[in-house]
Structure 1
Amino acid sequence: MPTTPPPFTADDYRARMDRAALAAADAGFAGVLVAPGPDLVHLTGHRVPADTERLTLLVLAPGRDPVLVVPALEAGEAAHAPAAPALTLRDWTDGRHDPYALTAPLLDAAGRYAVSDNLWALHLLGLRGALPGTDFAALSDALPMLRAVKDARELERLAAAGAAADAAYREVLRLRFAGRTERDVARDLADLLRRFGHEQVDFTIVGSGPNGADPHHEAGERTIRHGDMVVMDFGGLKDGYGSDTTRTVHVGEPSPAEQHIHDVVREAQQAGVDAVRPGVACQDVDRAAREIIEAAGYGDLFIHRTGHGIGVTTHEPPYMVEGEKQPLVPGMCFSVEPGIYLPGRFGVRIEDIVAVTEDGGRRLNTTDRALAVVE
């Protein structure tokens, strides 16, 4: 059973908030405004439903203590957040306070702030009304790599999540595929992820036969048959950090053509992993994998980017895609997942999470990438 890493401390969160404030200053911003969502979880460990209509806002600025503006009825929970010892809480009460007027003194009246993409328009307009001279920009544009570089304790969690997903894959290979539906196998995968420590299952894609040619196929009632290629892409959150892995299996012995295409994808995936090292542009990982598939004559059948970042969400920057020139930095974690999809026939995808090290890349998924034969 994969182990549970130790919890983050208030000092860990304070270091992240300080780095975010300094990164904003380096990019020409007065600070960062963080709404409920993955950025707030990453920076403070405080989880608030993103659909709450009351303003909750983390205010970060270089040289100032972090301030968390919260509704009074949620102040008690915020006071017990993992980052609480490093935060100043400022609460507001329904009908008594204007939350935007309360927040305004924390901001530079003529400053420019990077704002969480998921901040409600209602709140952004309220802040603009309280501070008409203040300018705002989307955080994903201003600081796209805010969560991209993981510290050692985050890497520990990602490795544990990857190990748990690997354990689920090893177990599912013991089960029968033929005669059962895709939904049956997807349910097995979800149960196994939870057995091995996932508190949240985000997806269990099971695409059999022609359904495997749809990269985001939703597992359905199709009965898996002898002779099917089956794509399984699954993951979720363990101890707050994501797993995401894909393996393609075959029910019974594959044909030479099926084995060949799987071999091409396996070689492409290896080429993508081999390209990972500090200083390399994200797009070069995509190019390395894509070159193998194009050389084999299947370039038009590789229809998605090679990878995406992973952390407190299963999809986040950086992205391994043409045009992304962001250089890789030690601590970045992302998927390498090339695929070939033959409409009406089958698909093949192989995916591992890879962490950038000082001199290359380290796979966080270690299960066999060969084409497994199942019953």
Structure 2
Amino acid sequence: MIMHYVTIEERFTRLRHRMTDDGVDLLVFGPGTYVEWLLGFHPYPDERLSLLLVGRQQAMFVMPALNAADTQERSDLPLVTWTDAQGPAYALQTALAATCTLNAPLCVGLDEAMRTDFALTVLDRLPGANVVMARDVAGTVRMVKDQEEYRLLKENAAIADRAMLHAMATIRPGMTEAEVAEGITSAFVAEGARIKFAIVAAGQNGALPHHHTGAAVLSSGDAIVIDIGARRDGYCSDITRMAVLDHKPQGYADIHAIVEAAVQAALKAARPGVPASSVDRAAREVIEHAGYGQYFVHRTGHGLGMEGHEGPFITETSETILEAGMVFSIEPGIYLPGRFGIRLEEIVFLREDGPEILSCLPRTPSVIATVNPSITHNY
């Protein structure tokens, strides 16, 4: 697969091709990652109506006047401004007239992440419009990453690797989950990354896939799920690894081996041209055949890019056909209530010949010896 850096003009061209294919006349974005993906920045977000309208021929901002100068320094797109005294109604009507045909039936794609009042204000001006979600139009274009996006995701994966190694090097019995998470946050901040989440789930808390990291104290014999992610230069990281303090709890090795086999099966199934559901099925069958199907309670993966969760979603029912350039997680897990949980997560970049794992860390559990410090751990 030959990748290259995609310019702003190319992104608009790809987006408009998709709009034409899908019969979408207008896309409406609030300040956020869609605008950042298209233009490299997004306007200041607050309660004032601020939109990017993308029609098949013209794109235009509706912009509070106090933010106009900053936006004009960053973009050549035309904008229609409004002041607090005027209100946004005339500016919005002017921009809509410039970007779509108001007297014709319209299909409008709305940014699913923008403020509800923004969306309702637009729809009030477009009575009878057929509404779709931007994720089904722009989101599908964003799923295929270019060379620069790959570079940024690879860099973020390396930062996450180092934050994970920091956690493994400092974790000890007597610490709280929150203290481990604070150390992870500091490791990300030291590299200029903004923490998105740090799930540290010790012992039976690990059986809760989205456990809220808290005051639980780590003890010898705990299996610990560590799921972390941050964002630098507009792109995200996400990785999950397992740590064990001193010794593995009863049954841990067998469950870890099953989850590892599920990861490997999903990696083998992930190829361009196959439905995302087949990757989920490959992982799920391994766990089901081992008798733990009821304890695998979530999808196998999600896309990663400017958002921590974006398309493609690797689910049992997904009809998305995988393409080279897509980036997504493979993260099966088994969660045993009252005992422990095990999740192993890789972020992969899909190439023509299969997935490239972005992390460099092994998936073997880090057995952290604290009773006899001379014993080294797996990392």
Q: If the length of structure 2 is used for normalisation, what is the TM-score?
A: 0.90
Q: Does 2:72 match 1:79?
A: yes
Q: Does 2:189 match 1:210?
A: no
Contact in 1 for aligned 2:222/2:249 (Cα 8 Å): no
Cα deviation code 1:263-291 (max 9, x no counterpart): 11111112112211101111111111111
CA–CA distance in structure 2, aligned partners of residues 100 and 226 of structure 1: 61
Q: Does 2:264 match 1:270?
A: yes
Q: CA deviation at 1:108?
A: 1.5
Match of 1:358 among 352, 357, 368: 352
Shift in alpha-carbon separation, 1:360–1:101, aligned structure 2, 3 A: same
Aligned residue number for residue 242 of structure 2? 248
Aligned residue number for residue 4 of structure 1? none
Aligned residues: 361
Q: CA deviation at 1:54?
A: 1.8
Q: CA deviation at 1:132?
A: 3.3
Match of 1:90 among 62, 71, 80: 80
CA–CA distance in structure 1, aligned partners of residues 124 and 261 of structure 2: 56
Matching residue's letter, 1:210: Q
Matching residue's letter, 2:42: R
Aligned residue number for residue 172 of structure 1? 167
CA–CA distance in structure 2, aligned partners of residues 124 and 257 of structure 1: 51
Contact in 1 for aligned 2:44/2:67 (Cα 8 Å): no
Runs of 5+ unmatched residues, structure 2: 371-379
Aligned residue number for residue 94 of structure 2? 102
Shift in alpha-carbon separation, 1:178–1:95, aligned structure 2, 3 A: same
CA–CA distance in structure 1, aligned partners of residues 256 and 183 of structure 2: 24
Q: Does 2:294 match 1:300?
A: yes
Runs of 5+ unmatched residues, structure 1: 1-7
CA RMSD between the two structures: 1.9
Aligned residue number for residue 374 of structure 2? none
Aligned residue number for residue 188 of structure 1? 183
CA–CA distance in structure 2, aligned partners of residues 34 and 242 of structure 1: 21
1:33-48 equivalent positions in 2, closer than 5 A: 33-48=28-43
Cα deviation code 1:107-161 (max 9, x no counterpart): 2112222111134343334334434354432223455413211111111100100
CA–CA distance in structure 2, aligned partners of residues 49 and 335 of structure 1: 31
Deviates more, 1:354-363 or 1:129-138: 129-138
CA–CA distance in structure 2, aligned partners of residues 143 and 156 of structure 1: 21
CA–CA distance in structure 2, aligned partners of residues 263 and 175 of structure 1: 26
1:341 alignment partner, SS class: strand
Contact in 1 for aligned 2:238/2:308 (Cα 8 Å): yes
Contact in 2 for aligned 1:116/1:140 (Cα 8 Å): yes
The percentage of counterpart residues that share the same residue type is 36
Matching residue's letter, 1:254: K
Q: If the length of structure 1 is used for normalisation, what is the TM-score?
A: 0.91
Match of 1:232 among 218, 221, 226: 226
